[in-house]
Structure 1
Amino acid sequence: MTSMSQPTSTLQRPPGRWGVLFAAIWLVFLLDPARVAWEHRDTAKGDLGLIATLVFAGVYLLLWVRLRADRARLVVHPAWGEAAGWLVAMAGLAVTMVWSLGEAGTASAVYCAVAAVMLLPFVYAAVLVLGIAGLVIVLGETRPTWDSGFGTAFGVFAAALAVFGIQQMLLRNIELVKAHDENAELAVENERTRFARDLHDILGHSLTVITVKAELAQRLLDVDPSRARTELADLERLSRDALADVRRAVEGYRDVSLPAELARARAALAAAEIRADLPNSTDDVPSEKRELFAWVVREGVTNVLRHSGARRCSVVLTPTSVEVRDDGRGSAEASRGSGLTGLQERASLVGGTVVTRTLSPGYSLQVVVP
């Protein structure tokens, strides 16, 4: 039987070390500001630039680790407050690097653009990337000792575009995993529904027959002890059969036998002192329809015993239909029960329809399969 435990996402696992190593490799572009800071380590600006560069690299790595953990939990973007915190921290360190190291500090602009793409939805990230690239160009054009900022701006765009492509691939993977989890949850829910329906069909019939026979045996104890003992023996047999049916349902076996259901119906109706008009042969029913027809007989006869107060019940079999009919007061309660819903689900799987009719007197439950 299919397990009914909750599905677990395949991506929900601790992130490995390779992603951090991949991010650390790209810190190579911070070597130039670190070199410049080291060359001016005897000055306050040089020391400040070196510290800012090292802290900037550490913050970038921490951000990468944090976002990988979010992806492992299927989180697409962090909360706005958290994203703003990361970006403000990196922007502050980048400004410090530019102020203390000059043109070399603009290498931080590429990492800020990458962080924006990773942290923000596309529209907001695109605006921020354009702003960063524009600022780099303006600085390059307005500082007389600096080279043109178009090269760095191109690096900002290239890095942002590359990370955007990687991010889209990760997002597609997340969507696939979520879709897989939803399908797994639906499968679990369908299995629960199937199991509940089968238990209703099996136990509802068996317990109804057991109740009828127990009432009959109680009435016969004083007037016909011999027959009462026979009915009690049937009670034991029926309870064992019910236990076996439940075990089969738990194990996932759903097959029922049409001849067996007709035999059970005959015994149950006789015990309830209801005249039974049942077919003696099922040879005309195609093999692929017998299981469904067996469920119809089981549900229909159970409803006759439980609700109708009938004196006569008949079952009519044809190659394309099965009908359970009684002359009682009508089984309105049955038409609202989960048993009829289960029959409708079973019938729909093979293109069949369920037809219920109130007769005068009586009630008819019919399933037709073309």
Structure 2
Amino acid sequence: MLINSLQRLRQLAGRPWIPPRRGKAPYLWLLMLSFLFWKYMVVAPTWIEIGLLAATALLFVPVYFASYWCLGSAQALVIALTCLFGVVWAPFNFGASTFFIFACAMAAAIKTPRNAYCTVLAIVALAVATAWRLPGAGFNFLVPVLIVGTTLGFSGVMEAQLRRSRDQLLRKQEEVEQMATIAERERISRDLHDLLGHTLSLITLKAELAGKLFERDPDACRREIGDIEHSARAALSEVRSAVSGYRQTGFAHELTGARASLAAAGIALRAEVQAFALPPACENVMSLALREAVTNIVRHAGATECALSLALEDGMIVLRVADNGARLADGAAVRPGNGLTGMQERIAALGGKLALRVERGLALELRLPAGAAA
């Protein structure tokens, strides 16, 4: 097991020091190594101590970074090595309690919550046993572990549980989206086969018959060619109707999908939609805009409520979507992504306007002329 763990640690050498999704905060936690120098505010260090502290830091930093990547037995090895640093340094420097604090934080990487909590308690128990044999400085050594280490350990385990649940939910959403895409492709394939299969077979047969009648019966040949033209035009019309149906699902259908998406994300929807006829081009743009807005709210806003309204105001069709997300501060700049940029281009093509404002969260207002051409 030890050999496998060491091999696992060697494989980590080529990776980034910290997983990108964890941000820059893990680098700041290394400042807790400064606890090792508190002793020297009242006691002058020797050159031997300085050298040993430098060597300890050089050994511990790779172990610390590895803790963000290791799993299973490798993670247990990393925690054990960190505790070993604390046990070895404890008789000489009460600031060595920082290693037990690091070990408590590392326990959050253990996937099973029960095992993670038990590991934190075991680390604290080891710190208590270590402090018990320290002459005089045991209290200064133990208090940081009991207060900081226990708090970091338990809160880290709970945060890791939430992070894993969130990642699992995102993976499930991606799987559902992928399955929906595959199902839609299969449906389109079936529809096109139903639309074109029979017609193309008929055209093929009539073309073969026209070829046979070309010399023998020119009039019958012309009739067959006319039938071929009629069948081809009918097929083209059916394909155009089908493609138009795929591109324009309708605002009511999109609103139903938005309601389901927001409900799945735990976001309450307040919708006020006036009853009036939407021009086809406007309905298509409104539907796409609603889909993009809801997607942004579900993925990025961190909101609990969403307000939506569709109304006819002074000859303009107005769609408003607002959330109470807390991700944007007052006066923060809104940087449109590819989705919003594409939305703005479609709206501008119909002579409309798109406005984005930061209120409680992000508010979107879309205005289109009621007489926009299809």
Q: What is the TM-score with the length of structure 1 in the denominator?
A: 0.52
Segments of structure 2 that go 5 or more residues without pairing to the other structure are 1-18, 249-374
Q: Does 1:30 align with 2:33?
A: yes
- Give the aligned partner of residue 93 of structure 1: 85
What is the deviation of 1:132? 0.9
- Which of 165, 176, 180 is 2:158 aligned to? 165
- Alignment partners' CA distance in 1, 2:27 and 2:246: 56
User: Would the aligned equivalents of 1:248 and 1:254 in 2 still touch at CA under 8 Å?
Assistant: no
- Give the aligned partner of residue 135 of structure 2: 144
Any idea what SS the aligned residue of 2:20 has?
Answer: coil
User: Would the aligned equivalents of 1:202 and 1:242 in 2 still touch at CA under 8 Å?
Assistant: yes
More deviation in 233-242 or 195-204? 233-242
Let me know the Cα RMSD of the aligned residues: 3.3
AA in 2 matched with 1:127: C
More deviation in 173-182 or 214-223? 214-223
Segments of structure 1 that go 5 or more residues without pairing to the other structure are 1-13, 68-77, 256-370
- Alignment partners' CA distance in 2, 1:48 and 1:112: 20
Any idea what SS the aligned residue of 2:46 has?
Answer: coil
What is the deviation of 1:19? 3.1
Q: Structure 1 residues 37, 192: closer, same or farther in 2, change over 3 A? A: farther
Q: Structure 1 residues 235, 80: closer, same or farther in 2, change over 3 A? A: same
User: Would the aligned equivalents of 1:56 and 1:94 in 2 still touch at CA under 8 Å?
Assistant: no
Q: Structure 1 residues 120, 52: closer, same or farther in 2, change over 3 A? A: farther
1:1-370 counterparts in 2 under 5 A?
Answer: 15=20, 19-20=23-24, 22-36=25-39, 39=43, 41-53=45-57, 55-56=59-60, 59-60=63-64, 62-63=65-66, 66=68, 78-80=70-72, 82-84=74-76, 86-98=78-90, 101-148=92-139, 151=143, 152-218=145-211, 220-221=213-214, 223-250=216-243, 252-253=245-246
AA in 2 matched with 1:97: W
User: Would the aligned equivalents of 2:108 and 2:157 in 1 still touch at CA under 8 Å?
Assistant: yes
- Give the aligned partner of residue 264 of structure 2: none
Q: Structure 1 residues 240, 31: closer, same or farther in 2, change over 3 A? A: same
Q: Structure 1 residues 81, 242: closer, same or farther in 2, change over 3 A? A: farther
User: Would the aligned equivalents of 1:216 and 1:231 in 2 still touch at CA under 8 Å?
Assistant: yes
User: Would the aligned equivalents of 2:82 and 2:100 in 1 still touch at CA under 8 Å?
Assistant: no
- Alignment partners' CA distance in 2, 1:117 and 1:86: 13
User: Would the aligned equivalents of 1:214 and 1:235 in 2 still touch at CA under 8 Å?
Assistant: yes
User: Would the aligned equivalents of 2:71 and 2:109 in 1 still touch at CA under 8 Å?
Assistant: no
What is the deviation of 1:181? 0.5
Any idea what SS the aligned residue of 1:145 has?
Answer: coil
- Alignment partners' CA distance in 1, 2:86 and 2:138: 18
AA in 2 matched with 1:42: T
What is the deviation of 1:217? 2.9
AA in 2 matched with 1:36: K
What is the deviation of 1:187? 1.7
- Alignment partners' CA distance in 1, 2:60 and 2:246: 63
- Alignment partners' CA distance in 2, 1:95 and 1:114: 17
User: Would the aligned equivalents of 2:86 and 2:97 in 1 still touch at CA under 8 Å?
Assistant: yes
- Alignment partners' CA distance in 2, 1:200 and 1:51: 71
User: Would the aligned equivalents of 1:134 and 1:153 in 2 still touch at CA under 8 Å?
Assistant: no
- Alignment partners' CA distance in 2, 1:177 and 1:254: 26
- Alignment partners' CA distance in 1, 2:247 and 2:49: 80
Q: Structure 1 residues 254, 23: closer, same or farther in 2, change over 3 A? A: closer
What is the deviation of 1:81? 5.2
Any idea what SS the aligned residue of 1:41 has?
Answer: coil
User: Would the aligned equivalents of 2:124 and 2:150 in 1 still touch at CA under 8 Å?
Assistant: yes
Q: Structure 1 residues 171, 27: closer, same or farther in 2, change over 3 A? A: same
Q: What is the TM-score with the length of structure 2 in the denominator?
A: 0.51
Q: Structure 1 residues 98, 140: closer, same or farther in 2, change over 3 A? A: closer
Larger RCO (CA under 8 A, 6+ residues apart): 1
- Give the aligned partner of residue 363 of structure 2: none
- Alignment partners' CA distance in 2, 1:251 and 1:240: 17
Q: Structure 1 residues 253, 104: closer, same or farther in 2, change over 3 A? A: closer
Q: Structure 1 residues 47, 153: closer, same or farther in 2, change over 3 A? A: same
- Alignment partners' CA distance in 1, 2:61 and 2:247: 62
Q: Structure 1 residues 144, 94: closer, same or farther in 2, change over 3 A? A: closer
Q: Structure 1 residues 240, 82: closer, same or farther in 2, change over 3 A? A: farther
